[in-house]
Amino acid sequence: MTTKVALEQHVAAGSPELREVFGGVAAAAREIAKQIRLAGLSDALGAYGAVNVQGEQQQKLDVFANDVMIKWLGQAASVAACVSEEDEAPVVFANAGAKYIVIFDPLDGSSNIDVNVNVGTIFSVQELQGGDLDASILQQGTKQVAAGYVVYGPSTVMVMTTGTGVAAFTLDDNGEFIRSNDAMQMPEQGPYYSTNEANAASWPEAYREYLAMLLRGDLNGKTYSSRYIGSLVADFHRTLLKGGVFLYPPTDKAPKGKLRLLYEANPLAMLAEQANGAAVNGPERIMELQPEQIHQRTALIVGSKREVEALQKAVLEAR
């Protein structure tokens, strides 16, 4: 019989100091998963009635998930501060000697909750450098010490890395995250592309031609199929498992892109690279971008190496 390995055991085996961080994320994820599962019965659906720092209409579950993440991370002695999509400034904890900063999107895809589509929590872990909180937050993605996401779907699954490969953990009936895959690898190339094609008319020409290339089958001799949910975590999770490419290109309205660098693009880029994939903003590697502000936005193209490298080549040649 295969020995069950819990999340905390897995993390402690390779990086004992991160155990409390992942314990906090796991505790929050359990509570969020339960609230999502019962949302239709507990008046937790719909708009909260406020706008967040992004100028976006907050959903009730956005606020709930944010509060829960802050609550549990604040109880983790190794967490010095956290940064959330929902808050303008960092939340600093009075944890003496704490060395980690957790940067997160508490509930990605929350606008899909009302129609029962998969949503998720995305997180990145940075190390506090010399007591300088601002500089520690604004580190390149290459400095991440861990990253992951939780997808709330038919099952609740956490996918994570501490820089030595990618593992998945499934929430069991006892409330424990049990390892269900200890060596996730993204296929070198895949059959799917994932993007909102309604925006294609406002993409730069190189991106439109790249999409046409996928549809013609010019990249690998086979035409690609479209798979798009509109929930970043869900679309990335499928891309990680099946291969292919997820695209959120720049547009006329958002020439620098729309996704957030620190708590969406960077953690997914780390996971992709650790699983033999790649992630760029078009011309540049995502994890080499230098953040200038907490809520900085970026384009994101992430997925199998062959598809991502072909897009990057097309963008660079179009310059």
Whole-angstrom distance, CA of residue 295 vs CA of residue 300: 15
What three-state secondary structure class fits 177?
Answer: strand
- The per-residue pLDDT for range 196-241, each reduced to its tens digit, is 999 999 999 999 999 999 999 998 888 999 999 999 999 999 999 9
| Half-sphere exposure (Cβ direction) of 133: Cα atoms closer than 13 Å | 15
- What's the pLDDT at 48? 46
Domain spans, the chain: 7-183, 192-318
> CA dihedral in degrees (13, 14, 17, 21; nearest 10)?
-90
CB 259, CB 248: distance < 8 Å: yes
CB 308, CB 190: distance < 8 Å: no
- Is position 108 annotated in a ligand binding site? yes
- Is position 15 annotated in a ligand binding site? no
CATH architecture, range 192-318: 3-Layer(aba) Sandwich (3.40)
CB 267, CB 294: distance < 8 Å: no
**Which is it for the CA torsion 159, 84, 60, 30, positive or negative?**
positive
Distances (CA, A) of 73 to 29, 69, 70, 101, 187: 11, 6, 5, 10, 34
Report residues of the chain scoring pLDDT below 70.
1-2, 40-58
Strand ranges (E), 21-138: 47-51, 57-59, 79-84, 91-92, 100-108, 119-127
- Is position 110 annotated in a ligand binding site? yes
- What's the pLDDT at 221? 86
- Is position 111 annotated in a ligand binding site? yes
Neighbours of 181 (CB within 10 A): 14
- Is position 99 annotated in a ligand binding site? no
- Is position 176 annotated in a ligand binding site? no
- Is position 180 annotated in a ligand binding site? no
- Is position 228 annotated in a ligand binding site? yes
Whole-angstrom distance, CA of residue 271 vs CA of residue 231: 17
Match 């190794």 to its residue by tokens.
Answer: 78
CA angle 73, 279, 244 (to 5 degrees): 110
- Is position 17 annotated in a ligand binding site? no
Q: Is 304 exposed, middle or buried (0-12, 13-18, 19+ CB in 10 A)?
A: buried
Q: Looking at this protein, which amino acid is placed at residue 124?
A: S
Topology annotation, domain 7-183: Fructose-1,6-Bisphosphatase; Chain A, domain 1 (3.30.540)
Whole-angstrom distance, CA of residue 15 vs CA of residue 13: 6
